[in-house]
Structure formats: C-alpha cells, structure tokens
Amino acid sequence: MLSVTFLGTSAARPTVERNVSAMALVREGETLLFECGEGTQRQMMRYGVSFALSDIFITHFHGDHYLGILGLLRTLGLQGRSEPMRLYGPRSAKRVLGAALTLGSERMPFEVEIVELAPGDAIQRKDYDVVAYATEHGRASIGYAVVEHQRLGRFDPDRARALGIPEGPLWGRIHKGEAVEVAGRTIRPEELVGPPRPGRKVAYPGDTRPCESVVQAADGADLLIHEATFGNEEKDRAKETEHSTAAEAAQVALAARARKLVLNHLSARYSADAQVLLDEAKAVFGETVVARDGMVLEVPFRDE
C-alpha cells in the first residue's frame, strides 16, 4: 500500500482550518515525513500517523516548513525513542537544522543525522528511490520524488499448471526470472511471466514557480502534489514571491502527464473555501483535488 496523509496544507501561517506544511507518505508500513511545520507532532497524533519514522525531508528553509522539527524530536525523546533520525534538506541544511536543534537546554536522547542533498541526488532503498530535483523558490530549494522500482511481470498460474509445474518453489524461481527443468523440459520465464510492470511515482516539489525541472521530475507521476498558493487574480504576486497559482500547477500536471494533481499550500484567503482554486485548476487539468488537513489519498498501481 502507498498512501499520503496531509498534515498541514496552509501557506505561511496556520489558520483555523489548516496547519502549516507537513505531509506523511506511508509505503508498505514505512513512514516518510515531508516538511515539518510547527505543530506537526500534534497533527500526526490527530490524524493517526505513526511516530515510528526515521526520515524527514525538507524542501527549503522558510519557517513554515521546518520549525516543527524540534518539537517533534522532543516529543519522540520524551516517549523514549533511541533510534537515529535522519533529516534531509538542500544546501545549508546542516547549518540551519543544526542551529534549530540546539534550542533549549534538553539534550537530544538519540542521534540526529543531517544530510544535504543537491538536485540529481537519490536516496536508494530496496524497492524505491527518493530523488531530489531543482525547484524555483529562493537560492536553495529542492523537490522530492518517491519513485518505486519496476515490479516483476504477472505470473500465469493456469499455464504453469497446464505445463505440469508443481506449485511451490519452482513458481517463485520462474517468477524471479530463472529457467527451470521440469520432466526433462526447460521452462523459461518468458513462457509464464509477462513484461515488467512500472512502480508508482509521487512527486512533491514543495514551494516553487512552475518550471521545467518539476515537469521532468513529475513525468508520468501517479500523484503530483503541487503548491497552489494563489488564484489567477494574484498571478503577479505569485510570480513576485516565487509561488504558483492553481492554474499554473495544473499546467505543470498536464505537461508532466500526471495521473492526479493535488493542490496544496493554500494562502489563508482560501483556507475555508478553495473552490475558486479548484475551478481554475480543473479548467486545465481535470483530475485535480484540493488538499485539506487530515485527507488521506491512496496511490494504486496503474494496472489495478
């Protein structure tokens, strides 16, 4: 299972309806946290996101995206955590996050590693990568794409039985690409296994102007989570502040051939009613929804 829980969907400051930026991606039981605005640990408790996580990814160092890290880590320490935590961010992460962790008199009871990433860097895991890419929001900002590896093709159990291959270890060996001998005959994987199937991709640029690097990183994404700080009436302000309008976010989704777009990081003026943003985006890209705090989206495989 792959799902995304939106913990904070407001831009710059919290509102009654929306907290500041934070999002949890849960993949096969593993939780990755993207952004950690103030109060994130309470949002995690409120919306049932596990504290059993080891990775926090920050896109840039405006306060509404990272000031909740100290509170979250203090909460984890008070709960007896001893496992290390990894914090990822763009250039200057060690300086900014390192300074934040020194606030207060309490000593962190577990190791905290700070890792700086540049566009093109990839954190490689067993079945997926987290890839950093360039965005346009200040001198040091990056986005992240969670990209699953290719999956094995579909195995045909009916044909396997018809060929007299007993169910069990031989099926597994064939499915993994190994030829086997059955009754003097060599059975090759291509006889029973279809072509490799793509994994899923979730692209999260953070705060940014619409730009080609985001389009490329989100190419074919199953889910693009793009900021939509403003509506069309504030397009000049969006440009001045290096943010995007809802329509611009939709244009990125269209250019990237994404399957679904989520509008995120909304200005306080749209906090209670974001219909105008949704309408402007859907006029460009139909598969669009507006994020809200507590919303959970599942990301299915394309062949399901």
Within a domain: 303: no
Query: What pLDDT does residue 105 have?
Result: 67
Q: Based on the domain organization, do 167 and 29 belong to the same domain?
A: no
Q: Based on the domain organization, do 26 and 123 belong to the same domain?
A: yes
Q: Based on the domain organization, do 43 and 21 belong to the same domain?
A: yes
Q: Given the residues 55, 64, 207, 293, select the one marked as catalytic.
A: 64
- Residue 64: active-site member: yes
Domain of 164, in residue numbers: 157-191
- Local confidence band at 296 (pLDDT 50, 70, 90 cut-offs): very high
Within a domain: 304: no
Q: Based on the domain organization, do 164 and 202 belong to the same domain?
A: no
Within a domain: 168: yes
43-48 long-range Cβ contacts below 8 angstroms, 24+ apart: 43/7, 43/8, 43/19, 43/293, 44/7, 44/72, 46/294, 47/5, 47/7, 47/293, 47/294, 47/296, 48/5
If one compares 156 and 38, the residue with the highest pLDDT of the two is 38
Query: What pLDDT does residue 267 have?
Result: 98
Q: Based on the domain organization, do 140 and 55 belong to the same domain?
A: yes
Cα→Cα distances 100→55, 58, 87, 143, 205, Å = 17, 13, 12, 21, 23
Q: Based on the domain organization, do 172 and 211 belong to the same domain?
A: no
CA 256-237-140 angle, 5° bins:
60
Overall domain count for the chain: 2
Q: Based on the domain organization, do 105 and 185 belong to the same domain?
A: no
- Local confidence band at 134 (pLDDT 50, 70, 90 cut-offs): very high
Per-residue pLDDT tens over the stretch 39-92: 999 999 999 999 999 999 999 999 999 999 999 999 999 999 999 999 999 999
